[in-house]
Amino acid sequence: MKTPFRAVLALAAILALAGCQKTADAAFGQKVRAYLLEHPEVIEEAVQKLQEKKIADAANLAKAGMVKHREALERDPRDFVANPNGKITVVEFFDYRCGYCKSSAPEILQIIRDNPDVRFVFKEFPIFGGESTLAAQVALSPAGKAKGLALYQSFMGEKALDGASIDRHLAAVGINPAQARAAGESAAVQKHISETRELAQALGIEGTPAFIVGDRLVPGADMPALRAAIAAAKAGDLKRVG
């Protein structure tokens, strides 16, 4: 009978300690809550620090990916390139149905015109559904690539791009819509789009637009930051930016 009695005593002691721990945890939690209610700026500071860490982590992931995938980023012969002989390269991941891509398109075209020494690589990265994919497919068809900036400008100028408006814009720049659609469904074009998505994932890019200049990622339609990155690249010192 001694052994069961001792076991009961041991169990009672463990439960008592657990109860004390729960009481202590509850008291500590109440103190933390009271402090946060009295100093809510601490929460804001913590959220800001978390956001800064996420941005830094994303930048580090992107930088590592840029080094590893530099050739695919800048020299994929399947991509459309403006100013192909430029010494500085800018890469844009974009979607024709992205509102921010549309709003930044006029300035992108201006940058290309103002900077003949800047190669501008267009990465078709459709993320907004079927019409986005269709637009990317026809743009990557041989006829679409031949029209280059003219088709880019035409698509970006359309507020609500859908199947009918895609065909209308194709015809407007002299492309047969049916032929472009057929060519865009080829295995080669599908593979190109799939590999661009994989490349974006490797760089931690989830949204559009996203720009890469040298070893710097410029997320979103931040045109001043993009111009600053280009200026720094020309000066040979991207570290000056950001």
Q: What is the pLDDT of residues 182-222, one digit of tens each?
A: 999 999 999 999 999 999 999 999 999 999 998 899 999 99
- Per-residue confidence (pLDDT) for residue 183, from 0 to 100: 98
Confidence of residue 239 (pLDDT cuts 50, 70, 90): very low
- Per-residue confidence (pLDDT) for residue 124, from 0 to 100: 98
Quote the tokens at residue 43.
């929460």
φ, ψ of residue 210 to 5 degrees: the values are: -140, 130
Q: Is the peptide bond before 209 cis (omega within 30 degrees of 0)?
A: yes
Greatest CA separation for the chain? 98
Q: What are the strands, taking DSSP E only, across 83-197?
A: 88-94, 118-124
Assess whether pLDDT exceeds 70 at residue 2: no
Q: Which of 6-10, 22-26, 114-118 has the lowest mean pLDDT?
A: 6-10
- Per-residue confidence (pLDDT) for residue 240, from 0 to 100: 37
Better pLDDT: 21 or 238: 21
Q: Smallest Cα–Cα separation from 118: which of 166, 82, 158?
A: 82
Assess whether pLDDT exceeds 50 at residue 1: no
Give me the numbers of helices (H) and strands (E) for the chain, helices first please. Answer: 11, 5
Sign of the C-alpha dihedral computed for residues 231, 233, 236 and 237 taken in this order = positive
CA distance 70 to 63: 10
pLDDT for 25-62, tens place per residue?
Answer: 677 778 777 877 887 887 777 787 776 676 676 667 77
DSSP helix/strand/coil, 20: helix
Assess whether pLDDT exceeds 50 at residue 144: yes
φ, ψ of residue 160 to 5 degrees: the values are: -125, 90
pTM of this structure: 0.75
User: What are all long-range contacts of 8-15, with beta carbons under 8 Å and residues at least 24 apart?
Assistant: none
- Report the 10 Å Cβ neighbour count for 185: 13
